[in-house]
Structure formats: structure tokens, C-alpha cells
Copies of this chain bind each other. A is one copy, B any other.
Amino acid sequence: MTLPHPDTDQITLPNVLAALGDDTRLAIIGCLARTDPLEGLVCGQFCGLTSKTNLTYHVAKLREAGVVKVRPEGTKRRVTLRREDLDRRFPGFLDTVIATAVELPQVEATLRQLHEETA
């Protein structure tokens, strides 16, 4: 089962801005920006941010806006940033957002948690 994603040229700025104008979702982006772009993260790794159910909701918002790609892997969902697509559509935009998003306290906390679990 593949999830619906907008084509590159169907990504609109109002949608992207609305998707990013939320603390939880901005934190998700910040986390993704600080991990291997190809690897991404699976939903469960954001559990420090909010509940499982709520993550489903927020990740779907980001996916529908065209900000992230969600690829099923068994029972997991691998989430990656659509960097190239966003760069082509709104050159420079993602970089400036990321530059600030990576420093959000929620992002620090979530990533620290992940590191501890890995160790």
C-alpha cells in the first residue's frame, strides 16, 4: 500500500507554510534535517514529541503538503524530507527553514533521546 503524495508541481506555498506553521511539525522537520537524508526516520522515533496517534495525523499533514515522503517498510513508515522537490519548487526556502528548525529545543530533546536508546 503506497500513500498518496502530491507531484512536485502540485506543491503550493500556502500549503507548505500552513504545514510548517505548527510546533510539532516543525520539530519533525528539524529532526529529519539532522539525520541522514537517505535514511530518514520512522514515525516511532518522533514519539518524544507527542502521542502515536497524533504523530499519524501530523506526518500525514506534512505528506499531503508535499514536505515529506512516507514509504512503508513492513509495519513501519520511513519518513524523509522531499529536499530536491522543495528546492526545485521554492529555491532556497527549505534551507532557511531548516537552518532555524534544527535548533528548536524540542528537536534537541528528541534527538538526544534517540541517541541514548541507540547506545
Using a CB–CB distance below 8 Å, which chain A residues touch chain B? 13-14, 17-23, 26, 90-93, 95-97, 99-101
Contact = CB atoms under 8 A, between A and B. Distances in A.
Contact of A13 (B18, B91, B101): B101
Contacts of A100: 13, 90
A21 B17 contact: yes
Q: Which of A22, A91, A93 has the most CB of B within 10 A?
A: A93
Contacts of A91: 96
B90 A92 contact: no
Contacts of A95: 92
A69 to B, nearest CB: 21
Contact of A97 (B22, B26, B93): B93
A21 B18 contact: yes
A85 to B, nearest CB: 14
A13 B97 contact: yes
Q: Which of A18, A26, A101 has the most CB of B within 10 A?
A: A18
Contacts of A99: 90
